[in-house]
Amino acid sequence: MVRGEGCGMSVTDVDAGCAQAIDARREIPCLQVNPEIFFAEDPEDIDVAKALCRRCPRRVACLDDALQRREPWGVWGGELFSGGRVVSQKRPRGRPRKERVV
């Protein structure tokens, strides 16, 4: 059996579908940059990742999927996740101070 036989698609249809998929990938910012930025420790890098998400056509779907999966951490759909929840900012590493700094 020839691959694709009986599916009703011509080579032209397949080529057009591939071209559309390539064009769609160009519109997704997270596919164009180093993915490490979406899992950064630095607050400035986190802000950059969120900004990239803001212009993404898949932002809402990405956020919905991340909420359903309870993503443990990272920027998904323009929101920062920690422990499966959306958080406003990343806590710094280490213990909190026992005494307030004046």
- Binding region for [4Fe-4S] cluster: 30, 53, 56, 62
CB 70 within 8 A of CB 61: no
Instruction: Give the C-alpha separation, 35 to 33, whole Å.
Output: 6
What single-letter amino acid sits at 66?
A
Taking the C-alpha atoms of residue 76 and residue 83, their distance in angstroms, rounded to an integer, is 13
- How many residues are listed for the chain in this entry? 102
Q: Summarize the annotated binding site as residue ranges.
A: 30, 53, 56, 62
Query: What is the C-alpha to C-alpha distance for residues 23 and 76, in angstroms, rounded to an integer?
Result: 22
